[in-house]
Chains A and B, each alone.
Chain A
Amino acid sequence: MSVKVNLHRSLASLTNGQTVVEVNGDTVGQCLEQLATRFPRLKKRLFEKDGALSRILEIYINGESTYPDELATTVKDGDELHTVVLIFGG
Chain B
Amino acid sequence: MLSQEELERYSRQILINGFGEEGQARLKKAKVFIAGVGGLGSVTATYLAAAGVGVIRVVDHDKVELSNLNRQILHRDEDIGKNKVDSATKRLKGINPKVKIEAVAEEITEASISRLVAGFDLIVDAMDNLPTRYLLNKTAIEKNIPFFHGAVNGFEGRAMTVIPGQTACLRCVYRGAVVEGIFPVVGVTPGVIGCIQATEVIKYLVGTGQLLGNRLLVYDGLNMKFTEFKVKRDPNCEHCGGLKDKS
Q: Which residues from chain A sit less than 8 Å from chain B, CB to CB?
A: 9, 55-56, 58, 60, 63-65, 67-68, 82, 84, 86-90
Contacts and interface: CB of A to CB of B under 8 A. Distances in A.
Given A63-B230, A67-B234, A84-B218, A89 B174 contact: no
Given A65-B231, A68-B234, A84-B218, A89 B128 contact: yes
Given A55-B176, A65-B229, 12 more contacts: A55-B175, A58-B173, A58-B174, A67-B174, A88-B133, A88-B153, A89-B39, A89-B183, A90-B36, A90-B41, A90-B127, A90-B151
Interface of B: 36, 38-41, 126-130, 133, 150-153, 156-158, 172-177, 179, 183, 185, 190, 216, 218, 220, 222, 227-232, 234, 236
Contact of A9 (B128, B175, B220): B220
A9 B225 CA distance: 13
A89 B175 contact: no
A64 B128 contact: no
Nearest to B158: A87
Given A64-B230, A84-B229, A89 B177 contact: no
A89 B185 contact: yes
Nearest to B215: A63
Contacts of B38: 90
A58 B232 CA distance: 14
Nearest to B177: A55
B173 A87 contact: no
B182 to A, nearest CB: 9
A35 B41 CA distance: 39
Contacts of B133: 88
A86 B236 CA distance: 21
Task: Choose among A60, A63, A88, A90 the residue with the greatest number of B CB atoms under 10 Å from its CB.
Answer: A90
A60 B217 CA distance: 13
A38 B172 CA distance: 32
A58 B168 CA distance: 15
B152 A87 contact: yes
Contacts of B220: 9
Q: Top 3 A-B pairs ranked by shortest CB distance?
A: A55-B177, A89-B183, A90-B128
Contacts of A9: 156, 220, 222
A65 B173 contact: yes
A86 B218 contact: no
A18 to B, nearest CB: 15
Given A55-B175, A67-B234, A68-B234, A88 B229 contact: no
A9 B129 CA distance: 22
